[in-house]
Amino acid sequence: MYDTVIENIGQLILPADGPIKGKAMNELEVKENMAIAIKGEEIAWIGTHEESKKLKTTTRVDALEKTVSPGLVDPHTHLVFGGSREGELALKQAGVPYLEILKQGGGILSTVKATREESEETLFLKARKNLEKIASYGVTTIEAKSGYGLERESELKQLHVVKRLNDEGALDIVSTFLGPHAIPPEYKGNADAFLDTMIRLLPEISEQQLADFTDIFCETGVFTIEQSRRFMKASQELGFQTKIHADEIDPLGGTELAVEMDSVSADHLVAASREGITGLAKGRTIPVLLPGTTFYLGKERYADARGMMDAGAAVALATDFNPGSCVTYNLQMIMSLAALKMRMTPEEIWNSVTVNAAHAIGKGDEAGRLKVGWKADIVLWDVPNYQYIAYHYAANHAQMVWKNGTKIWERSDARVFPVPQTEQEH
């Protein structure tokens, strides 16, 4: 006896084992006329719609020949923050660059101020609300970073919020300590001394199991390559896996550093060098590309996803949801930007937001795929085929979302117009 059978699936998206690299990213198994059965928290059966008619189940969901995929994975978010930065829009419109706003004490530092001032409870409730929205877009696993505290108490406060949200279990959340995200005013001009304070926090974070990864913003006016290497080494010595915000604006060589340090991911990479890209193809570091940020910062040049895949790398995509450089939690919108701005194919895009995204956060053996025995993280999309989501941009196409076998979200059926007779008959 199954709990739920989703039957009459028009297209079932079945990403292969990963990480999927290079040309293979353009391959995606899509089966028609399928069904999938859930028992408890797991996927218990996958077969044809015809076969599924024999199954005994408590609930049947008619997918009406629409599309079903694994729950999406968002491998780069700044989920927990105080305040908001709508005031910066005018500065952006006036042409003030992102790093200049930061230099003047705004940008990340204005969110640091707001986050320091908020209680853990307020941050928790705000992040939880955002998490709910994220899930409603078909995302069932995310990564979440600290980095708006920049001192012990506030960094731990953010990490505690992530831990509490993960413990609550609505979504799986991988936690990343991003203490070196900017240089706080009290350490202005003294990045090394500030970095030391963040390195000194690592043992405590490790003992309390507050993070799986560490991350650093390697950029002009923030942290240098040398400082980033120092932080990554200190992190790895304590057993953390590393990530890096690399080559987002200036080509400092963060991509090469990520490969050198065998980082799990290198994120942004808009200005990555040829050598960096070749290194990604050879190593196990996954490039996590964030086209929503490039779009939001109003830049012309996007990360060279095609070049990375041609070289043989395993690309992943993420929202970078944060209050400054990318204010969206809509991973479907990112899928459209990947198609329109980075010329990724629908197959490459699906692999980037499922299996490869899972590998970018160390969850490759439990998320991003549909497999019997794996947890039932499943999305029913109100679309006729797998190409449709990237094509019809900025909408929410998710109709039902299951996490660990439980339906956690369903689109409301409320209608603006009376339902016509012909539709009622369906």
Binding residues for Fe(3+): 76, 78, 245, 320
H helices of 270-345, in order, are 274-282, 291-296, 305-311, 331-342
What does the CA dihedral 89, 93, 103, 325 come to, rounded to 10 degrees? 50
Give the contact letters, 9-28, x = binds to ligand NIG (CB under 6 A), - = no. --------------------
Give the contact letters, 365-404, x = binds to ligand NIG (CB under 6 A), - = no. ----------------------------------------
Judged by CB under 6 A, the number of residues near ligand NIG is 13
Q: Is 146 in the site for ligand NIG (CB under 6 A)?
A: no
Part of the chain binding ligand NIG (CB under 6 A), chosen from 2-10, 191-199, 318-326, 400-408: 318-326
Whether the CB-CB separation of 343 and 26 falls below 8 Å is answered with no
**Alpha-carbon distances, residue 54 vs 7, 8, 49, 57 (angstroms):** 11, 13, 10, 9
Question: Counting runs of H as helices and runs of E as strands, what totals does the chain give?
Answer: 17, 16
Part of the chain binding ligand NIG (CB under 6 A), chosen from 5-13, 258-266, 306-314, 322-330: 322-330
CB closer to ligand NIG, 78 vs 157: 78
Part of the chain binding ligand NIG (CB under 6 A), chosen from 2-10, 106-114, 123-131, 355-363: 106-114
Q: Is 63 in the site for ligand NIG (CB under 6 A)?
A: no
Please, what is the minimum distance in Å from the beta carbon of residue 293 to ligand NIG?
5
For residue 124, the number of C-alpha atoms closer than 13 Å in the C-beta half-sphere is 14
What's the rounded Cα separation, in Å, for the pair 269 and 149? 25
> Other CB atoms closer than 10 Å to residue 181's CB: what's the count?
26
The residue at minimum Cβ distance from Zn ion is 320
**Tokens, residue 242:** 């590393």
CB closer to ligand NIG, 248 vs 304: 248
Bridge partners of residue 59, in order along the sequence = 4
Which of 248, 256, 304, 348 contacts ligand NIG by CB under 6 A? 248
Residue with tokens 């877009």: 137
Please, what is the minimum distance in Å from the beta carbon of residue 35 to Zn ion?
39
Q: Is 320 in the site for ligand NIG (CB under 6 A)?
A: yes
Q: Out of Zn ion, ligand NIG, none, which partner does residue 248 contact, by CB within 5 to 8 A per kind?
A: ligand NIG
What's the rounded Cα separation, in Å, for the pair 206 and 204? 5
Please, what is the minimum distance in Å from the beta carbon of residue 83 to ligand NIG?
10
Give the contact letters, 206-245, x = binds to ligand NIG (CB under 6 A), - = no. -----------x---------------------------x
Q: Is 184 in the site for ligand NIG (CB under 6 A)?
A: no
Whether the CB-CB separation of 252 and 220 falls below 8 Å is answered with yes
Burial of 50 (0-12, 13-18, 19+ CB in 10 A): exposed
